[in-house]
């Protein structure tokens, strides 16, 4: 397997639950069989016709390939609608992330919401010990003042056997999650009884949609912002007063 296929395989992700027609199920099985010899760990999650004749958009989580029906040719890269000046590959990836975020129970997130109007929602996969996650949290007052809501999902970078995981569980099991995550991000020790926490589910979801570092910031429409961005830059780029 060449390095490009290997990097694609790293993005192997499970599909977010959604309605899938029998016709698409047949296409998923068809392309899954075609790609298995090249990408044995890949699971095809969505398939639909591309806007180019005889080409199909094959999704593997947020990874995208454009493949001919017979499996003879594949394209990897951005497909752009020049007439409408729209990146169709970005749009497909945004849709996967949008569906994923929409499927999360808001009660499982730790949300900081402006008292007045919310102008922008940030969904942030966070690690308690991550330095840039902590930096983002120190700017919470400024974000809220400008109408930016922050919704935290747990993503202990070192996995589910790490100290970061145990810290996240303690935070999410606290009676006052906002107070607990603020204390934890300030380096304080948070203790809490075990509970039916969502940390494992958040971590799995993050892996499914390609989260590999923290913080990973995603907008409500599924657009991937990336990592830490200073509050003033977020305001300048996304808030229109």
User: Average pLDDT of each block of 10 consecutive residues along the chain (241 residues)?
Assistant: 39 44 89 91 90 93 93 94 95 94 96 96 97 98 97 96 96 97 96 91 93 95 94 92 62
Omega before 215 within 30 of 0, i.e. cis: yes
pLDDT for 7 equals 37
210 and 129 co-located in one domain:
yes
Catalytic residue among 15, 97, 98, 133: 133
3-state helix, strand, coil in the chain (%, to 5): 35, 20, 45
Considering its fold, how many domains does the chain have in total?
A: 2
- Residue 76 CA, chain-centre distance (Å), reads 21
Look at the alpha carbons of 44, 46, 51, 55 in this order and tell me if their dihedral is positive or negative: positive
Could you give the angle at the alpha carbon of 26 between the alpha carbons of 24 and 29, nearest 5°?
A: 110
Catalytic residue among 97, 98, 134, 157: 157
- Count of C-beta atoms within a 10 Å radius of residue 35: 22
DSSP state of 106: G
Catalytic residue among 94, 127, 129, 197: 127
Catalytic residue among 94, 97, 129, 130: 130
Q: Quick check: is 127 catalytic? A: yes
Residue 45 in tokens: 């999650």
Look at the alpha carbons of 124, 126, 130, 131 in this order and tell me if their dihedral is positive or negative: positive
Contacts of 135 (CB under 8 A, 6+ apart): 228
Q: Quick check: is 130 catalytic? A: yes
In angstroms, the CA 47 to CA 70 distance is: 14
Residue 55 resides in a domain = yes
Contact 103, 17 (CB under 8 A): yes
SS3 224: strand
Domain that holds residue 216: 108-235
Q: Quick check: is 15 catalytic? A: no
Residue 85 resides in a domain = no
**For the chain, what's the residue count?**
241
70 and 133 co-located in one domain:
no
Q: Which residue has the tokens 């390609």?
A: 210
Residue 88 resides in a domain = no
- Count of C-beta atoms within a 10 Å radius of residue 36: 13
Residue 140 resides in a domain = yes
DSSP state of 52: S
Measure Cα distances from 104 to 81, 91, 206, 225 in Å.
31, 20, 11, 19
CATH of the domain at 156: 3.40.30.10
112 and 229 co-located in one domain:
yes
pLDDT for 5 equals 41
Q: Which residues, in sequence order, are bridge partners of residue 152?
A: 110, 124
24 and 65 co-located in one domain:
yes
């Amino acid at each position: 397997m060449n390095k490009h296929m290997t990097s694609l395989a790293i993005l192997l992700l499970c599909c977010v639950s959604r309605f899938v027609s029998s016709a698409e199920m047949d296409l998923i099985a068809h392309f899954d069989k075609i790609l298995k010899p090249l990408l044995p760990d890949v699971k095809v999650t969505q398939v639909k016709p591309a806007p180019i004749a005889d080409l199909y958009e094959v999704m593997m989580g947020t990874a995208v390939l454009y493949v001919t029906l017979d499996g003879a040719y594949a394209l990897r890269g951005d497909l752009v609608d020049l007439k409408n000046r729209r990146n169709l590959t970005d749009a497909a990836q945004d849709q996967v992330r949008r569906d994923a975020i929409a499927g999360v129970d808001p009660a499982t997130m730790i949300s900081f919401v402006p008292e007045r109007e919310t102008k922008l929602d940030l969904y942030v996969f966070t690690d308690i010990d991550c330095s840039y996650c902590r930096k983002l949290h120190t700017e919470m007052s400024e974000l809220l003042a400008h109408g930016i809501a922050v919704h935290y999902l747990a993503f202990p970078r070192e996995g589910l056997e790490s100290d970061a995981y145990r810290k996240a569980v303690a935070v999410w099991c606290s009676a006052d999650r906002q107070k607990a995550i603020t204390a934890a991000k300030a380096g304080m020790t948070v203790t809490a009884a075990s509970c039916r926490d969502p940390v494992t589910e958040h971590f799995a979801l993050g892996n499914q949609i390609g989260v590999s570092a923290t913080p990973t910031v995603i907008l409500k429409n599924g657009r991937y912002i990336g990592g830490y961005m200073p509050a003033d830059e977020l305001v300048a780029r996304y808030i229109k007063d």
